Amino acid sequence: MNAPSTLVTALVRKPKGFLEHVFLLSTFAFSLATAWYGVKAIMAALPTSKSSTATTSPSSPPPNKHAEWILKVIKDNVEGQDALDLQHLRRFAKPKFLPPHVIGERDRIKELYSVPRSWDAGPPSLMQDSESPSWEWAASARKRNESRAPTLYLLICPTNVIGVKDLHDLLLLHPPFVSSPDSWSYPLELKEVTVPRLAPTSPEQAAAWSDEYWPTFYRKTNPFGAHPATIEKAETELQEPSTNNVSIEAMMQLAEQAGDATEKLGYGISTGCVIVERVEDQTEIIAVAGDARGKPLPSENGACVSLEDLSLEDLEEDDKGTRKGGGGAFAKKTARKKRKKQGQKLAKLAEEHACTSGNVMCHAVMRAIGMVGRKRLRIASQPISTRAQKAEAGFISAGLAHDEKARDAFFLDLPVNALEQQYFDKDNIKADGYLCLKLEIFLTHEPCIMCSMALVHSRVGRVIFKHRMSETGGLTAEMDSNDSGPVGLGYGLCWRKELNWQFMCWEWTAANRAGSARAGRGKDIDAMNAAHATLGDGRVLRNGHRVNGNTEDIEDDDDLSQEHDIYHDQDEDANSGMNPSLTYVHV
Amino acid sequence: MVFGPIPNREYHEGFMRKAVEMAELALLSDETPVGCVFVHNDEVIGRGINGTNASLNGTRHAEFVALAEIMAKHPASILQDTDLYVTVEPCIMCASALRQYKIRAVYFGCLNDRFGGCGGVMTVHQDRGVDPPYPVYGGLFREEAIMLLRKFYVQENNKAPDPKPKKNRELKTEILPISTPKVATPTVSTPDVEPKLPILERAAAAAATANMKGPAK
């Protein structure tokens, strides 16, 4: 048995890649307007000399008041100024904390010709203290040098909520910029700067952003996923080798088997879903389902019943009969032929009648979630089942529950083969649980947007998928990569704060399957991806029906009904030639 | 523009009324009061209310229940010429499902600002994707849709892991207007001149409005 560290290598995204992530998600940074104003003038007026206090108007507010007033003016007048969460940025910043390019070059020529200001040109007659042996001029000049630093920079709002011109006009209507005896010492200057749109996820990142854009806080949170410590804990739990813990590898294989099983029946493409419950280190497999989007609906196929029976029972009977009868080559051949013919028929029917992407409701995730509901209903306690019955009664009174068989065929949340049946039949779910609360989902492929949101609605806890689906997937957050162009749709539905549920999600990579014993199954990953890429075009029913592609495997069908070697301590060969790793999916 | 003017609004309100009736039924059976009807060639071919309590399945939304009814009799391809009327904007899951089924258009009452997929939180109906986008029209009987939801949410959800006590909740009745500047009113899109037109022209106008029902090109 392999040590856990070689079984799965935890690989949480490093801050650098993470930054890229953030940038890609939301155009990376946002332009904001900053204003700087003459706080230094007020500060220079406050100190020691009695005469210089006289130069400030008595009605002048204390210096920090101006800052508050300006904030209030913005709050009252600029709609949507706080629409973006920019809590990770300093609102006010001293120049010494700002990157030089944000402040800009000092305009020494302008300073030379600018109007003298209160702090460096008080009326000489008032300045002269009769007792003093020195001229006040000297003191005043010294003060000017000291007073250059205390300028404050204020981050006002994103530039998309108000234009610079409008903002300029607005601020000119309010103190301290509004025309008044003092206003000339508060020149209003606005500037657009680029600041990080999203919070940093490490102190190093915060420091780097502060150096490059704007003073940024790190608040020990991760807005794009679970807290790093929680992720680490979950990863340990997933990988911990104990007799009662299922391995990711084994679950992934089971999901693949489920996908293969429905594909062989001609029902769908080879994708699968396994739902696991973990209670105090004990894991139970709750539901196993394969994709069945290509299974024709009763309405799309007049001869549905016979076809269904054929596919489900007759063929299995045939196989069994063949084996029992000594496995005559002729009988096998007949079974294969029958299967092939049936597959072609199904494909043809589907092509003629079905929606081009098939019955969307029969994606593996939807079916597995449905099975969990069925199981819950089956073992529900009195109050819960009474409530469900009441709701069902409401259906009947509304005339909606008219055809249960058709409904089941549409949702297909009942097992369609021995493998699915085997797990469905076990009453191994905690009684009266809520939906799929905190269950673990293992998927061969990144779920589509519908399925991703179904997982959110079902309150799942953890999702681990194998293949990324850049054209249809709803969990990953990247949209573009620097090297390869589009890599995803950018939904990141596993961790969207605006939705009412978040769950942890990993992409699971088995680095090298070529050397593994199972490579012979014809599962070339590239070929798989190619097949699924066409899926996005809705052409899967035309070229995805590989019903007769695996005829050699027919004899192996019986292992679907056997208990699989899914536990770590029994799973010897599964890890040979592989270096799998988990990559947490941040949004 | 989700709350833009809706051509031939009265026609669509007729079907939205049916959807609201379904939502009222849902409220009676303790389900989230969302109701919908699917309409094909001026005829309701599927009706649905939320079925999450009956099935203990959080994905059994009204749209899916209605789709099950449709597919008992029709092939999935019928949806390409079918419109959906639903009291609350379809969620992200349903929005994606509808797009994959290639629905023609979606009419809804109020936005779903918790997990709406047609403008409330995300815009699954029109984002980049492999399936064709579809047009959405919001605001039909919006106030009624909101009130139905409010009536439901002042109740307690005993099935939640830790139900929140809602004893002190009051049913609010004021409804804020849509913040979008242009809100279509029922009279905007109804041609005033229609009754005065000669019979032939009236037929032409009817044909024109019938064309307008289809998805915006």
Q: Residue A434: which of B76, B100, B159 has the nearest Cβ?
A: B159
DSSP of A142-177: HHHHHTTTT-EEEEEEETTTS-HHHHHHHHHTSTTT
Question: Alpha-carbon distance A474 to B163, whole Å?
Answer: 30
What local confidence, expressed as pLDDT, does residue A292 receive? Answer: 94
Among B31, B63, B89, B144, the one annotated catalytic: B63
User: What are the start-end ranges of the H helices in A160-303?
Assistant: 164-172, 203-212, 228-239, 248-264
The bridge status of strand B35-40 relative to strand A504-509 is: unpaired
In the chain, the amino acid numbered A285 is I
- pTM for the full model? 0.63
> To which H or E segment does residue B44 belong?
strand B43-49
The number of beta carbons lying within 10 Å of the beta carbon of residue A87 is 11
**pLDDT tens string for chain A (587 positions)?**
332 222 222 222 222 222 222 222 222 233 333 333 322 222 222 222 222 222 233 334 444 566 777 778 878 887 777 767 777 888 877 777 888 877 766 555 655 555 555 544 444 444 445 555 555 444 444 444 444 435 677 777 777 777 777 877 887 787 767 776 766 666 677 777 777 777 776 788 788 888 888 888 887 776 677 877 888 888 888 888 777 888 899 999 999 999 999 999 989 899 999 999 998 878 999 999 999 998 888 777 643 333 343 343 444 444 444 444 444 555 555 555 655 555 555 555 444 443 447 899 999 999 999 999 999 999 988 888 888 888 888 777 777 766 788 889 999 999 999 999 999 999 999 888 899 999 999 999 999 999 999 999 999 999 999 998 888 999 988 776 656 667 788 898 998 888 999 999 998 886 544 333 333 333 333 333 333 333 333 222 222 222 233 333 333 333 333 333 334 333 333 333 445 677 777 65
Task: Indicate whether B42 pLDDT > 70.
Answer: yes
What local confidence, expressed as pLDDT, does residue A39 receive? Answer: 29
What local confidence, expressed as pLDDT, does residue A341 receive? Answer: 59
The bridge status of strand B105-110 relative to strand B82-88 is: parallel
The residues, ordered by sequence, that sit 6+ positions from A412 with a Cβ below 8 Å of its Cβ are: A292, A295, A359, A361, A362, A367, A370
- The 8-class DSSP code of residue A314 comes to I
Q: Residue A410: which of B58, B68, B114 has the nearest Cβ?
A: B68
DSSP of A330-364: HHHHHHHHHHHHHHHHHHHHHHHHS-TT--GGGSH
Per DSSP, the three-state class of B176 is: coil
Q: What are phi and psi of A10, to 5 degrees?
A: -70, 135
Cβ–Cβ under 8 Å, residues A334 and A319: no
What local confidence, expressed as pLDDT, does residue B91 receive? Answer: 97
What local confidence, expressed as pLDDT, does residue A115 receive? Answer: 54
Closest CA to A63 of A122, A137, A150: A150
Question: Alpha-carbon distance B100 to A117, whole Å?
Answer: 68
pLDDT bracket for residue B124 (50, 70, 90): very high
Compute the radius of gyration of chain B from its Cα atoms.
Answer: 18
Q: What are phi and psi of B139, to 5 degrees?
A: 105, 5
Question: Alpha-carbon distance A203 to A195, whole Å?
Answer: 17
Question: Alpha-carbon distance A379 to A361, whole Å?
Answer: 24
User: Helix, strand, coil shares of chain B as percentages rounded to 5?
Assistant: 35, 15, 50
Per DSSP, the three-state class of B78 is: helix
Cis status, amide bond into A176, omega within 30 of 0: yes
Token reading at A198: 């999203």
Closest CA to A462 of A444, A445, A439: A439
What local confidence, expressed as pLDDT, does residue A212 receive? Answer: 82
Task: Indicate whether B1 pLDDT > 70.
Answer: no
The number of beta carbons lying within 10 Å of the beta carbon of residue B183 is 14
**Chain A residue with minimal CA distance to B93?**
A450
- Total CB pairs under 8 A between chain A and B: 188
Q: Is B174 a catalytic residue?
A: no
What local confidence, expressed as pLDDT, does residue A481 receive? Answer: 64
DSSP of A525-542: HHHHHHHHHHHHTT-HHH
Mutate to test the interface with A, among B31, B93, B126, B162 (most CBs of A within 10 A): B93
Mutate to test the interface with B, among A300, A389, A456, A457 (most CBs of B within 10 A): A457
DSSP of A316-327: HHHHHHHHHTT-
Cβ–Cβ under 8 Å, residues B65 and B51: yes
Task: Name every chain B residue with its beta carbon within 8 A of the beta carbon of A397.
Answer: 25, 29
- Report CA torsion sign: A368, A440, B100, A267: negative
What local confidence, expressed as pLDDT, does residue A580 receive? Answer: 67
What local confidence, expressed as pLDDT, does residue B160 receive? Answer: 66
What local confidence, expressed as pLDDT, does residue A123 receive? Answer: 46
Burial class (CB in 10 A: 0-12, 13-18, 19+), A511: exposed
Give chain A's length: 587
How many angstroms separate the CA of residue B25 from the nearest CA in chain A? 7
ipTM exceeding 0.90, yes/no: no
Measured torsion, CA atoms of residues A309, A311, A312, A316, in degrees rounded to the nearest 10: 120
Task: Name every chain B residue with its beta carbon within 8 A of the beta carbon of A453.
Answer: 91-93, 96, 115, 117
Strand ranges across the sheet with A92-93? A92-93, A152-158, A29-37, A189-196
Mean pLDDT, to the nearest integer, of B33-57? Answer: 94
Question: Alpha-carbon distance A207 to A228, whole Å?
Answer: 19
- Report CA torsion sign: A541, A543, A544, A549: positive
Token reading at A13: 């995204």
Question: Alpha-carbon distance B35 to B145, whole Å?
Answer: 9
Burial class (CB in 10 A: 0-12, 13-18, 19+), A419: buried
Check CB contact under 8 Å for A493 and B92.
Answer: yes
